[in-house]
Amino acid sequence: MALWTVCVLLVIPVLLLYLILWFYNGWGSLFREDFVQPPKPLITDKRSRDKVLKQGFSQDKIPSNLDVVVIGSGAGGLTAATALAKAGKKVLVLEQHDQAGGSCHTFQEHGYEFDVGLHYVGQMHEGGMLRVVMDQLTEGQLQWNLLGSQYDTIKIGHKVYRLHAGKVEFLETLKKQFPGEDESIEKFVAMMKTAVRHVPLVAMLKIMPEWVALLLVRSGLLHWLSPVFRLAESSHQDVISRLTNNKDLQTVFSYLFYGVPPNDSSFLINALLIHHYKRGAWYPRGGSSEIAFHMIPIIERAGGRVLVRASVSRIILTNGKATGVAVQRKEGEVCIYAPIIISDAGIFNTYNQLLPSEIKATPNVSSLLSSLQHGMGCFLVFVGLCGTGEELGLKSTNLWIYPESDLNGLMEKLWSSEWEEICQDLPLMFITFPSAKDPTYQKRHPGHSCMTLLTMTPYKWFSDWSGQTPRHRGEEYHSRKMKLAEHMVEKALQEFPQLEGKIEYMEAATPVSNEYYLRAPLGSMYGAEQNCSRYQCDIISKMRAQTAVPGLYLTGQDVFSSGVAGAVHGGLLCAGAVLNRILYIDLMMLKKRIKRRRAQRSS
């Protein structure tokens, strides 16, 4: 028998054995069950937390022989960095703010703690894909608190509708509140399930070579492969109008506002958002800053660092390839080099601010950017309340308020009105009590509670103060923002009259606040506008981690979709592109192993 035949006969069984062990035990995977350890006690000491979240930039802290530099420490940047660290890469994350976390950071004032951008997260049930991802990225140290069964209340005029968690409960409670609409509700839920089951194909469109993706798009084959692509391109309003004529039910199907009216938003995105909470809503124990707090040690263990007060002024190119970044300091630029550069600064900041203008002018980049829009800005009011949640009667349920059921008209009114008009008649508002969602809040801030109010706001209302630093914008700016804030608080007190006289602290953040602290262009916290244009199939395929510049990658909300979950998936797509590996295969195999072993333990 020939020597090569003997070798083949020996090698094949070994390979098969390895593949079997890889499938059942995760050998060779970045993600494994044994990476998840029992959670340690919550660390509340400020100094201990600051050592992790507030490591100030200096040249002597830059690790040598870096593999990757990440611009921005939002959920997308930290996810990509942590996944790459698990692959053995030495990663430096640079954050321009004074603490890591991006929209997931928290701040404390007058004894109160407030989250900035994370209000609740769905799909954190045991064994769910997002829970598996977050457990791996924090090695089981990030714990989640399940909110009450009724996680959202939607008030339309004087009518109140309630959403309850649970596969059966969600459907049945909707039917009870909308008698005679059983068929339309069932059809909507069925379309929602289709969107969820097929959305991995949307991710695949971003993973496969771009020329293949565009060939599938231009040939029309995509729509034959799956209905998800037609759902992505379809106006949410068009779809739900075919399901029901009930305006209140249409509003409930569209209630999660992010700056885009239903007639210009993708049905796929709205369906995914509503499904996201169908199994329940969760909040991080210890607050949203726990996300960064538990990812950073993994990055450091691989030799990397996360440094703050490190504003990147430009991406360094060598012969057209990204080879480093320049950090702006008082004494001048500090240049840092690595073979891979990742931007979590968003697609607009990356191409408009960090790269030479000739890159933006290339046909492919110019065409992509022209098809995208900036998202609408956010206006937040942070309210400190005297008393515990029990004393004040606070619940973990969020409240969404609309004066009427015409969301398209309300969004148009918000966009076209002047701020003085809105201060008298606010078209939409969100009310939430972070302290009621986190059982550790009272231990960390005894006798205190907090409320956050949110609405969407056109940037033009505050654009005169763009570029100015906080607390130096003058009396007119302060007066303008506080007038709107006070109107929002008045509306909140109408809903929760027991809070009258309990307010001890109030501050407001405008779109220019978000622009300053988060480097969010035009104050948009949700990245590029989540409209139908963005979810046309050719744009989906182009909005990927790889960029027009070799060695430069994008991560975060602009790669996949908005919100914490969208940013995390953007980070996974980015890390996979850098490693030339489909990380979702590892995660799906891990999810199957977890499910199988849980079944074995219960049998």
The residues that bridge with 292 in the sheet, in sequence order, are: none
Range name among 51-65, 183-197, 461-475, 568-582 with the lowest pLDDT average:
461-475
Verify that 524 and 550 share a domain, yes or no: no
Asked if 413 and 502 sit in the same domain, the reply is yes
pLDDT at 15: 43
Residues 292 and 394 in one domain: no
In the chain, the number of structural domains is: 2
Judge whether 479 lies within some domain: yes
Segment 201-215 mean pLDDT: 93
- Which pLDDT band, with edges at 50, 70 and 90, does 27 fall under? low
pTM beyond 0.85: the answer is yes
Percent residues over pLDDT 90 in the chain: 85
Q: Are 220 and 249 in contact (CB under 8 A)?
A: no
Q: How far is CA 548 from the centre of its chain?
A: 24
The average pLDDT across 274-301 equals 96
| Adjacent-strand bridge partners of 312 | 327
Tokens of 197: 């089951």
Q: Which residues contact 488 (CB under 8 A, 6 or more apart)?
A: 381, 426, 429, 453, 455
- Strand-pairing partners, residue 552, are 341
Neighbour count for residue 371 (Cβ, 10 Å): 15
- Does 493 score more than 70 pLDDT? yes
Give the DSSP H or E segment for 585.
helix 583-602
Structural domain that includes position 590: 54-109+122-138+285-353+544-602
pLDDT score at 2: 53
Out of 489, 505, 529, pick the residue that ends a domain. 529
Given 529, 553, 585, the domain boundary residue is 529
Give me the sign of the Cα torsion angle 346, 360, 574, 197.
positive
Residue 315 — very low, low, confident or very high, per pLDDT cuts 50/70/90? Answer: very high
Is residue 384 located within the same domain as residue 503? yes
Pick from 520, 480, 491: nearest CA to 429:
491
Same domain, 524 and 548: no
pLDDT, mean of residues 54-65 = 97
Q: Within a domain: residue 274?
A: no
Q: What is the mean pLDDT of residues 87-105?
A: 96
Q: Is 553 domain-assigned? A: yes
With vertex at residue 315, the alpha carbon angle to CA 312 and CA 319, rounded to the nearest 5 degrees, is: 160
Task: Specify the DSSP class assigned to residue 116.
Answer: S
Q: How far is CA 352 from CA 356, 377, 484, in A?
A: 8, 19, 32
Question: What is the model's pLDDT at position 471?
Answer: 87
Strand ranges inside 67-167, DSSP E: 68-71, 91-94, 106-109, 112-115, 121-122, 144-146, 150-156, 159-164
pLDDT exceeds 90 at position 148: yes
Residue 397 sits in the same domain as residue 519: yes
Question: Is 319 in the same domain as 380?
Answer: no
Above 70 in pLDDT, residue 571? Answer: yes
Give yes or no: residues 506 and 557 share one domain: no
Average pLDDT across the chain, whole number: 92
Per cent of the chain over pLDDT 70 is: 95
Look at residues 470, 505, 529 and tell me which one is the last residue of a structural domain: 529
Structural contact between residues 254 and 163, judged by C-beta atoms closer than 8 angstroms: no
pLDDT of res. 597: 83
Is 174 inside a domain boundary? no
d(CA 306, CA 304): 7
pLDDT over 90 (residue 86) = yes
Residue 601: per-residue pLDDT: 78
Task: Summarize the confidence of residues 155-168 as an average pLDDT.
Answer: 96
Whether residue 23 is predicted with pLDDT greater than 80 in this model: the reply is no
114 phi, psi to nearest 5 deg: -130, 140
Instruction: Based on the fold, state whether residues 386 and 506 are members of the same structural domain.
Output: yes
In a domain, 46, yes or no: no
Confidence class of residue 386 from pLDDT cuts 50, 70 and 90? very high
Q: Are 508 and 579 found together in one domain?
A: no
Q: Has residue 301 been placed in a domain? A: yes
Nearest-10 crossing angle of helices 75-86, 290-301: 30
Please write the tens of the pLDDT for every residue from 127-143: 899 999 999 999 999 99
What is the DSSP code (8-state) at residue 263? G
Take residue 91 and report the two structure tokens written for it. Answer: 């990663």
Helices and strands: H and E segment counts in the chain: 26, 20
Please report the pLDDT score of residue 420 as a whole number: 85
- SS3 of 342-385: EECCCHHHHHHHHCCHHHHCCHHHHHHHHCCCECCEEEEEEEEE
CATH of the domain at 588: 3.50.50.60
pLDDT surpasses 60 at 382: yes
pLDDT (0 to 100) of residue 505: 97
Within a domain: 378: yes
Stretch 371-399: mean pLDDT, rounded? 95
* Confidence at residue 55, expressed as pLDDT on a 0 to 100 scale: 98
On whether the CB atoms of residues 243 and 184 are closer than 8 A, the answer is: yes
Residues 416-460 have pLDDT tens digits of: 888 888 888 899 999 999 999 999 999 999 999 999 999 999 999
pLDDT of residue 13: 54
Is the domain of 341 the same as that of 382? no
Asked whether residue 150 is domain-assigned, the answer is no
For residue 595, is pLDDT > 90? no
Residues 6+ apart with CB under 8 A from 357: none
| Residue 390 and residue 494 share a domain | yes
